[in-house]
Amino acid sequence: MSVRIGLIGAGRMGMTFAHHLVNSVAEAELAAIADAHGKTAANAAAQFGVESTYSDYRSLLEQKDIQAVVIATPTNTHPEVIRASAVAGKHIFCEKPLALSLPECDAAIAAVNSAGVKLQLGFMRRFDAGYAGAKKKIEQGVIGKPVMFKSTGRDPKRTSLEFARRENSGGLIADMAAHDFDLARWLMGSEVAQVSSEGGCLVYPELSQAGDIDNAVINLKFANGAIGNVDVSRNAVYGYDIRTEVLGSEGSLIISKIRQTPILVLTRAGVTHDTVPYFMERFAEAYAAEIRDFVACIREDREPAVTGQDGRCAAAIGIAATRSLDEGRPVKVSEVEQ
């Protein structure tokens, strides 16, 4: 059985998912594309050989032969599109984050549960070979009991001022650190109970006009007593820098890949190598793997590996960490539930 999928949102991430649906998932067929900019949808359809295009995603949802959708629309539209897709009876893959507020997360999850469809969140790092391998070693007890989590997420350039606005993306902490918060819960096997954030607009003063910052550090305390730290930055001019360490009672695991190709250049000027340019290069296979797994969930009628509840938990940590930054104090994650 081939799963017919509609793509909603044909921007940068949408095109990434379209590429993998067409080239990496034999069991799926990209059957339609919708984008608020009709020309964008038409261009994407021409590139990938898709016949049906729409400027209104609701029209795509009316297409009866589509079983599932991939949502890659702007962050602040995710809850609305998820709810509409669920009502239409479509299985849903949605790029992170689930929503910018917990009531919106709850409404999206409720719609999915009511409709009896599947919802998978786009936390692709779980599908990266390095992170997946680390998870297995933790479960096998290779490093003993995990006691400390450290994660770095640094982009080589700042985002647009429009995207940086909290009403659009949630801001640096909620948006960029969402992957790290998800990894923290997943790798440590415990919920984050409290966060304490420090941050500032240190390199790109124009970001302050959008109410955002460019660097932040978030300390974590887990429900089981473990501790952690996440740093995120928009000014890693040397390349895309993603690193994670889990320290256990019997050892440590480090997941890191900053070099794009295994080449060292040794000259009188010194020793140099290239770096990973951006997230699409670093996690290309992970993006393909998560889409393959989503399609497999539909074909095998099983629960997705990354659920709506996982998306809600990561959102709650991001909201609490942003409140900590604003109020200059530690914040218990349970506070944002109130």
Residue 249: CATH number of its domain: 3.30.360.10
- Phi, psi (rounded to 5 degrees) for 298: -70, -45
Which DSSP state fits 230? E
Per-residue pLDDT tens for 56-100? 999 999 999 999 999 999 999 999 999 999 999 999 999 999 999
Q: Is residue 271 part of a domain?
A: yes
C-beta atoms surrounding 2 within 10 Å: 13
Domain's final residue, options 123, 148, 182: 123
Looking up residue 36, the CATH number of its domain turns out to be: 3.40.50.720
Q: What gap in Å lies between CA 109 and CA 111, rounded to an integer?
A: 5
Q: Is residue 93 part of a domain?
A: yes
Q: Is residue 133 part of a domain?
A: yes
Question: Contact, 206 vs 212, CB < 8 A?
Answer: no
Q: Is residue 8 part of a domain?
A: yes
Residue 195 to residues 191, 238, 316, 334, Cα–Cα distance (Å): 11, 29, 11, 11
pLDDT at 280: 81
* 136 plus 116 within the same structural domain: no
| Token output for 47 | 């590139």
List the domain range (segments joined by +) for residue 21: 3-123
* 159 plus 189 within the same structural domain: yes
Q: Is residue 309 part of a domain?
A: no
* 202 plus 327 within the same structural domain: yes
Domain's final residue, options 85, 106, 123: 123
Q: Is residue 179 part of a domain?
A: yes
* 188 plus 330 within the same structural domain: yes
* 136 plus 7 within the same structural domain: no
* 107 plus 30 within the same structural domain: yes
Is the predicted pLDDT of residue 207 greater than 80, yes or no? Answer: yes
* 116 plus 145 within the same structural domain: no
Per-residue pLDDT tens for 240-261? 999 999 999 999 999 998 888 8
Domain's final residue, options 123, 143, 169: 123
pLDDT at 278: 86
* 211 plus 238 within the same structural domain: yes
pLDDT averaged over every residue in the chain: 96
* 248 plus 233 within the same structural domain: yes
Q: What gap in Å lies between CA 328 and CA 47, rounded to an integer?
A: 49
Which DSSP state fits 283? T
* 179 plus 250 within the same structural domain: yes
Pairing of strands 227-233, 146-154: parallel
| Token output for 299 | 């074909």
Q: What gap in Å lies between CA 212 and CA 209, rounded to an integer?
A: 7
- In degrees, rounded to 5, the angle at the alpha carbon of residue 243 between the alpha carbons of residues 305 and 240 is 100
* 231 plus 322 within the same structural domain: yes
Is the predicted pLDDT of residue 338 greater than 90, yes or no? Answer: no
User: Residue 333 corresponds to which amino acid?
Assistant: V
| Token output for 69 | 């959708």
Average pLDDT over residues 119-131: 97
* 135 plus 268 within the same structural domain: yes
Question: Contact, 46 vs 22, CB < 8 A?
Answer: no
> Looking at the 3D structure of the chain, how many domains does it have?
2
Q: Is residue 298 part of a domain?
A: no
